[in-house]
Amino acid sequence: MKKIKKFLFSEIDSTNEYAKQLSRTETGDVMVIASRQTAGKGRLGRTFHSPDGGIYMSLLLHPTLPTEKISLITVMASVAMRRTIESVCQKEALIKWVNDIYLDGKKVCGILTEGSFDAENNKFKYIILGVGINVFEPTDGFPDELKNIATSIFPTKIDGIKDSIISVFTDNFFSIYENYENTDYLNEYREKNIVLGKDIEYIKDNELHKATATGIDGFANLTVIENGKKISLNAGEVKIVTDSIFNSKK
């Protein structure tokens, strides 16, 4: 079992923000875990709904892997969390590029990776890997805007399961991260990704683009075919087009 220093909170603004503060004093890898967040941060400047019932955790990492591979840390985490969720609930957990985890067709986990880049040395000083998982249904249910798109691993509380999820995830993550030259996790990321082969939409420079997702390269960039041209997407968000006649053929 991976041993890591942990900072535990019942409530915090954001575990990513706390991990950022810790980066000033902690030279080793540490973990910040909270039962709820009052200002949970999501990707693309969004907020992350973080009531009791979830696990909100951030790993402060000091990676030695090559700078060009840093973005793969998020991929490692999504594969580690996918495996963790499957092992606790025996249901298939899938990944939606880039790093959302889906259960029963709804989002159950989101990941936000932040970092501090040292331009003089051309390497990252630290990376903060923030993971939010809906473990139990929130007591008041999900708010209207999330009802149809979010889910939890379990409908009601199970004693001790959050601790198991944290320790299984930690072991799963570090076994990939510490052996990153073994790229089996990338194959799993591709095989379990729900966007491949689908018609998708994405927004770039305020413009809506329509394309078909065809592959994921060694840096986890999404390859799409748009108007007959091959394009590589490396960030942002894609929406799967569900009412397309092309998708219904698959």
Interface positions with ligand BTN (CB under 6 A): 14-16, 37, 40-43, 46, 48, 56-58, 100, 110-112, 130-132
Q: What's the closest the beta carbon of residue 29 comes to ligand BTN, in angstroms?
A: 16
Residue closer to ligand BTN, measured from CB, 14 or 170: 14
Contacts of 182-188 with CB under 8 Å at 24 or more apart are: 183/218, 185/75, 185/76, 185/79, 186/72, 186/75, 186/216, 186/218, 186/220, 188/79, 188/82
Q: What's the closest the beta carbon of residue 53 comes to ligand BTN, in angstroms?
A: 13
Q: What's the closest the beta carbon of residue 57 comes to ligand BTN, in angstroms?
A: 6
Q: What's the closest the beta carbon of residue 243 comes to ligand BTN, in angstroms?
A: 24
User: Quick count: other Cβ atoms within 10 Å of Cβ 156?
Assistant: 9
In this structure, are residues 132 and 108 in contact, taking their beta carbons and an 8 Å threshold?
no
Residue closer to ligand BTN, measured from CB, 14 or 193: 14
Residue closer to ligand BTN, measured from CB, 111 or 200: 111
Query: What CA–CA distance (Å, rounded) separates 48 from 50?
Result: 6
Q: What's the closest the beta carbon of residue 44 comes to ligand BTN, in angstroms?
A: 7
Residue closer to ligand BTN, measured from CB, 57 or 72: 57
Residue closer to ligand BTN, measured from CB, 49 or 192: 49
Helix 161-177 with 72-89: angle, nearest 10 deg: 140
Residue 227: phi and psi, rounded to 5, are 50, 45
In this structure, are residues 27 and 62 in contact, taking their beta carbons and an 8 Å threshold?
yes
CB-closest chain residue to ligand BTN? 110
